[in-house]
């Protein structure tokens, strides 16, 4: 297969070039590649040609908040493909009192025969028990080279500092990367209980009970634990300027701290939670949306590499029959929002088109750095000979209105309903196979492979 007449865009440069694909991999790239007899030609005139998007933060088919996230591996990976994402890394949860390996088996079963793009897994550690530290080494050998630990959600997912520190001390040796949900769960829990006792039960109180300082404090603590243990830390779904300042100061001192943010924190504010009636429930996720001074600081953070990745934290719950669980009490609204399909569209439109990011930085944020940090590079996240032919042929002029009426995620609303974006995926290839073309899915359910990731990725360099 030969993709020609397009502009190949990587994290480093943009150049007119053709890409030859042989089997599942890129064979060669050059300005003057000639079509061989019988070769399939894809004309990319006027198009940008990116490495496929990598979303390192999704929750598919995840039991949470008394229900299960509404996209499974079939619908979620298909929706991702429509938006130009060809790899995702989902989270397997270790139920308290069980072995980590069992969680992996559970998530492999969820993904098997369903995923249409390649996927990796992180493991959410809820309990080290007596064998947990040895289990972590085993998990890394299985190709699950990252763990998530929660500093929030007491009695559900939260672990104490001793657990986080022990886990970090282990990854300092086995080379995995620990991801932290950084919010001070104890403080938040007290504030939440006070609010409910005062009859403050509407969705807006989800935002008002989770102060920015509770996020910044947790990031500060995470930095200290990274310094003491000598292990890198990756902060997930960073939402505020204050938390960003903690990351920036630590990085300036040479502490190996990395952080992602998500489109919702770049483009929405706490005002969404105050929508009339119960509408605000559509925007209940943690950390919550913040006041309007925060998003511009996050954009600056992306530009200057204080933030390294944009993921989605895709964790969809339908409004009609799932978010409604918290109609009379915001603490019962399942936490999470949809977005896996819209990440590239939103970041391209509001980042590249609005001049906040170069197109090369865009590729770095949505594909190359995620691959590097999570042990997939250069197989994924790059357009180079030998890399998997995960390629997005992107029409930079395609206008698109985001809507639940037309999206492919299995959820009955969009957080970005009516947003008009310019720039969209025209053709999406996964390992050399066209899986989306002109708005149609032509891939095959179940063709996605589990990706064994390597330890000591980019966070260690
Ligand atoms: O509200 C959220 N973010 N739900 C998903 C779980 C998590 O904390 O990432
Ligand atoms: Zn989280
Ligand atoms: Zn999440």
Whether the CB-CB separation of 64 and 97 falls below 8 Å is answered with no
Residues near 415 by beta carbon (within 8 Å), at least 6 away in sequence: 264, 268, 272, 282, 283, 337, 338, 339
Q: Is 294 in the pocket of ligand 1 (CB under 6 A)?
A: no
Q: How far is the CA of 157 from the centre of ligand 2 (A)?
A: 10
Q: Is 210 in the pocket of ligand 1 (CB under 6 A)?
A: no
Vertex 160, ends 156 and 163: CA angle to 5°? Answer: 110
Ligand nearest to the CA of 335: 1
Which pLDDT tens digit goes with each residue over 306-334? 999 999 999 999 999 999 999 999 999 99
Q: Is 286 in the pocket of ligand 1 (CB under 6 A)?
A: yes
Q: What is the pLDDT of residue 131?
A: 93
Q: Is 370 in the pocket of ligand 1 (CB under 6 A)?
A: no
Q: What is the pLDDT of residue 199?
A: 98
Q: How far apart, in whole angstroms, are the C-alpha atoms of residue 160 and residue 349?
A: 40
Which pLDDT tens digit goes with each residue over 224-259? 999 999 999 999 999 999 999 999 999 999 999 999
Q: How far is the CA of 94 from the centre of ligand 2 (A)?
A: 15
Whether the CB-CB separation of 53 and 367 falls below 8 Å is answered with yes
Asked whether the whole model's pTM tops 0.85, one would answer yes
Alpha helices in 60-160 (DSSP H): 73-82, 100-111, 132-141
Other CB atoms within a 10 A radius of the CB of residue 228 amount to: 12
Q: Work out which ligand 1 atom sits closest to the CA atom of 286.
A: 1
Q: How far apart, in whole angstroms, are the C-alpha atoms of residue 300 and residue 307?
A: 9
**Structure-token pair, residue 424:** 């969209």
Give pLDDT tens digits along the chain (461 positions).
999 999 999 999 999 999 999 999 999 999 989 999 999 999 999 999 999 999 999 999 999 999 999 999 999 999 999 999 999 999 999 999 999 999 999 999 999 999 999 999 999 999 999 999 999 999 999 999 999 999 999 999 999 999 999 999 999 999 999 999 999 999 999 999 999 999 999 999 999 999 999 999 999 999 999 999 999 999 999 999 999 999 999 999 999 999 999 999 999 999 999 999 999 999 999 999 999 999 999 999 999 999 999 999 999 999 999 999 999 999 999 999 999 999 999 999 999 999 999 999 999 999 999 999 999 999 999 999 999 999 999 999 999 999 999 999 999 999 999 999 999 999 999 999 999 999 999 999 999 999 999 999 999 98
Q: Work out which ligand 1 atom sits closest to the CA atom of 57.
A: 9
DSSP for 363-403 reads HIIIIIHHHHHTT-TTTSS--STTSB--EEEEEEEEEEE--
Three-class SS state of 415: coil
Q: Is 258 in the pocket of ligand 1 (CB under 6 A)?
A: no
């Amino acid at each position: 297969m030969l993709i020609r007449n397009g502009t190949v865009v990587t994290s480093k440069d943009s150049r007119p070039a053709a890409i030859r694909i042989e089997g599942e991999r890129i064979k060669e790239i050059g300005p003057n590649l000639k079509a061989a007899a019988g070769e399939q030609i894809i004309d990319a005139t006027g198009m940008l040609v990116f490495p496929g998007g990598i979303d390192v933060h999704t929750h598919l088919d995840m039991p949470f908040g008394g229900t299960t996230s509404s996209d499974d591996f079939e619908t979620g990976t298909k929706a991702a493909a429509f938006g130009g994402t060809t790899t995702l890394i989902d989270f397997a949860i270790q139920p308290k009192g069980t072995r980590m390996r069992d969680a992996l088996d559970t998530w492999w079963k969820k993904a098997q025969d369903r995923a249409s793009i390649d996927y990796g897994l992180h493991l959410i550690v809820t309990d080290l028990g007596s064998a947990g530290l040895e289990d972590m080494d085993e998990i890394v050998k299985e190709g699950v080279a990252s763990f998530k630990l929660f500093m929030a959600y007491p009695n559900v997912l939260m672990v104490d500092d001793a657990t986080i520190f022990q886990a970090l001390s282990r990854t300092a040796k086995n080379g995995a990367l620990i991801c932290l949900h950084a919010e001070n769960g104890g403080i938040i829990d007290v504030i939440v209980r006070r609010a409910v006792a005062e009859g403050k039960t509407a969705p807006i109180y989800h935002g008002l009970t989770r102060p920015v300082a509770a996020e910044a404090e947790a990031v500060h603590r995470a930095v200290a634990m990274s310094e003491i243990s000598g292990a890198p830390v990756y902060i997930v779904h960073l939402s505020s300027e204050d938390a960003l300042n903690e990351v920036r100061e630590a990085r300036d001192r040479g502490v190996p701290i990395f952080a992602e943010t998500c489109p919702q924190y770049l483009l929405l504010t706490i005002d969404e939670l105050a929508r009339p009636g119960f509408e605000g429930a559509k925007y209940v996720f943690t950390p919550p949306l913040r006041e309007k001074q925060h998003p511009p600081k996050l954009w600056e953070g992306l530009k200057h590499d204080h933030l390294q990745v944009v993921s989605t934290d895709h964790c969809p719950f339908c409004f009609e029959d799932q978010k409604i669980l918290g109609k009379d009490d915001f603490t019962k609204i399942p936490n999470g929002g949809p977005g896996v399909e819209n990440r590239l569209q939103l970041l391209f439109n509001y980042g590249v088109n609005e001049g906040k990011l170069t197109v090369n930085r865009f590729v770095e944020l949505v594909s190359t750095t995620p691959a590097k940090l999570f042990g997939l590079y250069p197989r994924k996240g790059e357009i180079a000979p030998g890399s998997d032919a995960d390629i997005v042929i992107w029409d930079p002029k395609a206008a698109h209105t985001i809507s639940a009426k037309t999206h492919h995620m299995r959820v009955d609303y969009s957080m970005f309903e009516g947003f008009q974006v310019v720039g969209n995926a025209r053709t999406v290839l996964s390992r050399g196979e066209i899986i989306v073309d002109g708005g149609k899915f032509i891939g095959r359910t179940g063709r996605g492979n589990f990706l064994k990731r390597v330890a000591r990725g980019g966070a260690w360099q």
